[in-house]
């Protein structure tokens, strides 16, 4: 059995964010070289930076904020699927026959690093509905969103809300072999937030 596989996107200056969202920046506000006792950086960013967990309130006014996303949903057995293809949205046909674990992660073809905001495959509402019927509670994607960048009604997000699926976006799955793992995906403890960056890892089982 191998060790942990980090599936978190690495963050550095200029990391692309959703068009119109707050850029990621680290600015030094205290410097030992300038006579201060410590080095301190100020972080400015969006709650939807890189690998992040969406709270239902992000896309539904009557949905829970981050405190409503139980840790038990974010830790446990997960299935990684190769969902690469040419269709603009990932179809329900990518799902295998047989029982699914509570967490399904989709490698849609995103590279290890984003040099600019990427082109990406969204998830079809039919896929989300199929996952909900089969007892899945968390859907993860390597894309920056489950919906297209120009979507206004967010059908995949809304399908997740109807079916009780928590969304994890921006995973880094380019080097992960499809199969079953144990997922650990822990957002910051910001109970009133609409989302939070997270550190996500897989453990082989």
pLDDT in tens, 169-182: 999 999 999 999 99
Which domains, ranges and CATH numbers included, belong to the chain? 5-9+47-204 (3.50.30.50)
> What angle do helix axes 155-163 and 125-133 make, rounded to 10 degrees?
10
pLDDT in tens, 101-142: 999 999 999 999 999 999 999 999 999 999 999 999 999 999
pLDDT in tens, 36-51: 999 999 999 999 999 9
Mean pLDDT, range 188-196, rounded to an integer: 98
Catalytic residue among 15, 48, 52, 58: 58
Return the residue matching tokens 């969406």.
54
How many Cβ atoms are within 10 Å of 86's Cβ, its own excluded?
A: 6
Specify the pLDDT at position 133.
98
pLDDT in tens, 63-81: 999 999 999 999 999 999 9
| Alpha carbons 3 and 51: distance in angstroms, whole number | 20
Assign residue 165 a region (left: φ > 0; alpha: ψ between -120 and 50; beta: otherwise): beta
Specify the pLDDT at position 152.
95
The pLDDT-based confidence of 198 (bands split at 50, 70, 90) is: very high
The pLDDT-based confidence of 2 (bands split at 50, 70, 90) is: low
Q: Is 58 a catalytic residue?
A: yes
Specify the pLDDT at position 161.
98
Specify the pLDDT at position 21.
97
According to DSSP, the residues that pair with 122 across neighbouring strands are 89
Burial of 75 (0-12, 13-18, 19+ CB in 10 A): middle
């Amino acid at each position: 059995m191998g060790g942990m596989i980090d599936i978190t996107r690495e963050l550095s200056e200029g990391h692309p964010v959703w068009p119109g969202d707050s850029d990621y920046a680290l600015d030094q506000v205290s410097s030992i070289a300038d006579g201060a006792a410590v080095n301190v950086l100020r972080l400015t960013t969006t709650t939807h930076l890189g690998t992040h967990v969406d709270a239902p309130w992000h896309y539904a006014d009557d949905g829970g904020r981050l405190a409503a996303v139980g840790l038990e949903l974010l830790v446990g057995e997960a299935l990684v699927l190769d969902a690469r293809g040419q269709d603009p949205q990932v179809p329900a046909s990518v799902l295998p026959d047989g029982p699914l674990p509570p967490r399904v992660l989709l490698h849609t073809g995103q590279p290890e690093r984003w040099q600019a905001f990427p082109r990406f495959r969204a998830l079809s509402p039919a896929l989300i509905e199929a996952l909900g019927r089969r007892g899945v509670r968390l859907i993860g994607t390597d894309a920056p969103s489950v919906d297209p960048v120009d979507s206004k009604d967010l059908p995949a997000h809304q399908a997740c809300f109807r079916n009780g699926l928590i969304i994890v976006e921006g995973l880094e799955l380019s080097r992960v072999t499809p199969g079953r793992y144990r997922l650990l995906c822990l957002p910051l403890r910001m109970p009133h937030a609409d989302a939070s960056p997270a550190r996500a890892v897989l453990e082989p089982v």
